[in-house]
Structure 1
Amino acid sequence: MLARFTPVLRVRSFSTSRGVLQQAKTGSEAALSSCPAGTVLNLQIKKSGKEPVALEDHEYPEWLWSVLDPKAQLKKLQQDPLKMRKKQLRSANRDKIKQSNFLAKM
């Protein structure tokens, strides 16, 4: 006789720092890092190198907090029309290549 297995529901959880959760609740605009200062980041590249350690938020450059913000990036692009046009051309070229590849398969 075959045994019945019940499916196990797995809940994926992500660890976040208390500061990030508080920021999300309050809706404040100040960016906070996702790991507390002094946390080993496990990003060692060289065997002889040391493990990098997270710093305090004020020790990082200000531009770092706006890298993943699409509104800030768009505002930065609008200040430099040449970069914006280059990005538009790159996107249009990528779309053209995808369409060409799709039609070639037919």
Structure 2
Amino acid sequence: MLRRFPISQSVRLLSSSRIAFQQAKTGSEKVISSCPAGTVLNLQIKKSGKEPVALEDHEYPEWLWSVLDEDAQLKMLQKDPLKLRRKQLRTSNRQKIKQNNFLSEI
């Protein structure tokens, strides 16, 4: 079941997430999560499982905070040329498939 937030609250959540991401990108401050510790995340997958709850920021692994940073991901890929090449092949294959699908509709 989707939980609907009032517009003012959802805008506040988005703006705080954007600010946290920009601060992480500039490296001026340590990244903070947009969910305070103890917040129910509404990500329950199994019927018998419990709802996951947000943890303190220091309880998450360090790599999690650099997942959305494109520069950090590029540095990681440059360390392993095989992964970089696989990613390049995947993107080029997707582009070819999209182009072929578009041309087949004409």
Output the TM-score relative to the length of structure 2.
0.72
Task: List runs of 5+ in structure 1 lacking aligned partners.
Answer: 1-10
Task: List runs of 5+ in structure 2 lacking aligned partners.
Answer: 1-6
Return the alpha-carbon distance in structure 1 between the equivalents of residues 70 and 85 of structure 2. 17
Return the alpha-carbon distance in structure 2 between the equivalents of residues 42 and 58 of structure 1. 21
Considering only CA atoms, is the larger Rg found in Structure 1 or Structure 2? 1
User: Residue 15 of structure 1 corresponds to which residue in structure 2?
Assistant: 12
Return the alpha-carbon distance in structure 2 between the equivalents of residues 35 and 78 of structure 1. 32
User: Residue 31 of structure 2 corresponds to which residue in structure 1?
Assistant: 31
Which structure shows the higher helix fraction?
2
Output the TM-score relative to the length of structure 1.
0.72
Aligned-pair distance for 1:22? Answer: 7.3
Aligned-pair distance for 1:15? Answer: 3.5
Aligned-pair distance for 1:20? Answer: 5.7
Instruction: Give the 5 Å matches for 1:22-101.
Output: 23=20, 28-101=28-101
CA separation of 1:103 and 1:62: change in aligned 2, threshold 3 A: same
Return the alpha-carbon distance in structure 1 between the equivalents of residues 53 and 68 of structure 2. 21
Per-residue CA distance 1:35-59 (angstroms, 9 max, x = gap): 1111111222223222211111000
The number of equivalent residue pairs is 94
Return the alpha-carbon distance in structure 1 between the equivalents of residues 17 and 58 of structure 2. 15
What value does the CA root-mean-square deviation take over the aligned residues?
2.7
Return the alpha-carbon distance in structure 2 between the equivalents of residues 86 and 21 of structure 1. 30
